[in-house]
Amino acid sequence: MFGRLSLDAFPTDIITIGGVASGGAVVLAILAFITYKKKWRYLWNEWFTSLDPKKIGTMYAIVAAIMLLRGVADAVMIRAQQAVLSQTDLNLIDSDMFQQVFSAHGTIMIFFVAMGGMFAFINWIVPLQIGARDVAFPLLNSISFWLFAGGMVLMNLSLALGEFSGAGWLAYPPLSGLEYSPGTGVDYWIWSLQIAGVGSLLSGVNFLTTIFTMRAKGMTLMKMPVFTWSIVTSMLLVAFVFPILTVTLTLLGLDRLIGTHFFTSDLGGNPMMYINLIWAWGHPEVYILVLPAFGIFSELVPVFSRKKLFGYKSMVFALSSIMLLSFMVWLHHFFTMGAGANVNAFFGITTMLIAVPTGVKVFNWIFTMWRGKVKFTSSMIWFMGFAITFTIGGLTGVMLAVPGIDFQVHNSLFLVAHFHNMIIGGVVFGFFAGLTYWWPKFTGWKLHEGLGKIAAWLWIVGFLVAFLPLYALGFMGAVRRLDDYDPSFGWQSLFIVAGIGVMIIGLGVVTQITQIGYSWLKRKQLKVNSDPWDGRTLEWATPTPVPDYSFAKLPIVSDRDAWWEMKHAKTKVPTKYEDIEIPKNTGYGVYIGLLSTIVAFSIIWHIWWLVILSGVALVVVAISSTLREKTERVITAADIIAIEGKRQRSVL
């Protein structure tokens, strides 16, 4: 009746039991607190069923923050094992558990931290920057988030029931096949990514439609803010490459579920087909994540330099060039797998070429700062950390683009260090900079600058200490997924240094949590009474914090730096109020996300009766959501006048 699910699915090792117990205790405490405060109805009505992109963005950010904490915890376990535990009698993590932790860390940080953070910023900022009150498909936006959340639930459920994949974060066959991974781990990996990936694809279509069809009057494509341009290029990549991921995961799932042979070495299959497909998605995915971070830096560097962005057109062309070239570099991930010298040469050259538009952007930011009145806020410190770490990552990337060098360091910790330079130094630092920059716009109060600067420096220093030794270890022969090694190799001292770096990053995370908590307690003293950053683009034309309706009257745009021009030309923001219609909240997104998660869980455990029931329910709910009456909630002009008046009084 319950398929493969039995009492044997529950964890027995002390590490997993401890993780489940501590995580479960936190979840139960949160649930008990919500129940005690009688907030369930409020959360359902105002948050879970909300179609407001600002609230959906906040929920994306919360999920990403939760998964960041788990991802950091996994990193601590990995470094502790490599630095100390493997060389002592305290070896608490066996090889199988280490591979699961390694696979979970990579999957979490890419799919649920970086992607979640990206969609948080898109939901928060893009509609406001283009002068839209909503997205093109509000319900689809809610469905996308709850599919993303469902994938997150499956990821964490693997801790308590069954296991997670030990086949790496990209699950190469034959290791991910039934012969070598007969348990539920790879199935959890497939279905958590499948659900979250479909949500990402739907979001990509939604935001492309929003940007191309809902821009404010007068905002041509070449008057869009660079952040919005970065989202256009990122979402175009999502629309083109996430179907590849969906198909690839489906084929791997069929290999495991019904015995097809798409990616086996017998009966006509080919494991290299999987590797080509997964990297045809995987390398554009890197740019899907990093392009929005480029857009964030392009917004805040001019603000804190008190200058216009240098080279707007070249920035747009650089983004577009990176987007196009990202489709032509995927094979550099497997130079060593026998494609041949001509193929390797082509992909090596295209990989080097993609460094050119990336370098253009870095020089544009530097020229923007040149002779500007630079203010080194915490956001700018994150930018400076990015400039250093991302440049190192770019230089090592060009090295890896040379097939001869790649043959020496392929699959080594040199590659791991390069990849983290790009993702942490590029994506994570960018998101932290943007979070600090835009925080007051959505909360009405600023984050404490002193604690923010300390957190930034801890992250930057910790990152360099954690990952620079890995370049040396890679040259010395240390490979990825290494949980034990001979002490005579002389690697332990460098692993210990890397472990210290992870601990410093951990202090940075603690400082960030402290910063948010302290700032919330002191929010009256940190309250924003005016535009604190003298922002340049249209989102700063909205009230602080941004209400449900965003714009009392839709703006007319005449310049790229729309808000800057409104202020410095002493033109008034439109103030003629009118009734505004916004979509009513609905629970269809929650229902579709929940049923999709149940379907996936049932397939993982082969509970076929539940697959049928939940699958039928999912189809019925999905169809009914398209047939529902599109009801609107009206905010009258009188209500807007009252809200605006209250805000003005609070400012005074």
Can you give the pLDDT at residue 532? 46
Task: Tell me the mean pLDDT in the region 329-333.
Answer: 92
What's the fold here for domain 39-586+628-651?
Cytochrome C Oxidase; Chain A (1.20.210)
Strands 580-583 vs 632-635: parallel, antiparallel or unpaired: antiparallel
- Per-residue model confidence as pLDDT tens digits over 395-420: 999 999 999 999 999 999 999 999 99
pLDDT above 90 covers a percentage of the chain that reads 76
Higher pLDDT, 21 or 437: 437
**What pLDDT, on the 0 to 100 scale, is given for residue 652?**
39
pLDDT mean across residues, the chain? 91
Whether 290 has a pLDDT exceeding 80, the answer reads: yes
- pLDDT tens-digit readout, 563-611: 888 777 655 555 567 778 888 999 999 999 999 999 999 999 999 999 9
Dist CA 79 CA 495 (whole Å): 7
Residue 651 has pLDDT above 70, yes or no: no
> Are 118 and 33 in contact, with CB atoms under 8 Å apart?
no
Q: Looking at residue 569, what DSSP letter applies?
A: T
Instruction: Give the residue from 416, 411, 276 showing the smallest Cα distance to 339.
Output: 276
Give 459's contacts (C-beta < 8 A, 6+ positions apart): 385, 429, 432, 505, 508
pLDDT number for residue 92: 74
d(CA 381, CA 372): 16
CA distances from 87 to 84, 482, 503 (A): 6, 13, 19
Q: Mean of the pLDDT values across residues 108-125? A: 96
Does the pLDDT value for residue 254 go beyond 70? yes
3-state secondary structure 322-383: HHHHHHHCHHHHHHHHCCCHHHHHHHHHHHHHCHHHHHHHHHHHHHHHCCCCCCCCHHHHHH
Structure tokens at 148: 């993303």
**Distance between CA atoms of residues 182 and 176, nearest Å:** 9
Instruction: Answer yes or no: are the C-beta atoms of 62 and 119 closer than 8 Å.
Output: no
Question: What residues pair up with 27 in beta bridges, in sequence order?
Answer: none
Looking at residue 86, its pLDDT comes to 84
- Residues 342, 403 contacting (CB under 8 angstroms): no
pLDDT (tens digit, 9 = 90+) per residue, 474-533? 999 999 999 999 989 999 999 999 999 999 999 999 999 999 999 999 998 888 765 545
Write the burial class of residue 133 (CB in 10 Å: 0-12 exposed, 13-18 middle, 19+ buried).
middle
- What's the pLDDT at 529? 63
CB atoms within 10 A of CB 374: 15
pLDDT confidence of residue 638: 76
* pLDDT confidence bin for 338, thresholds 50/70/90: confident
Contacts of 26 by beta carbon, 8 Å cutoff, 6+ apart = none
CB hemisphere CA count around 248 (13 angstroms)? 26
* pLDDT value of position 555: 85
Domain ranges of the chain: 39-586+628-651
- pLDDT for the residue 536: 86
In tens, the pLDDT along 359-379 reads 999 999 999 999 999 999 999
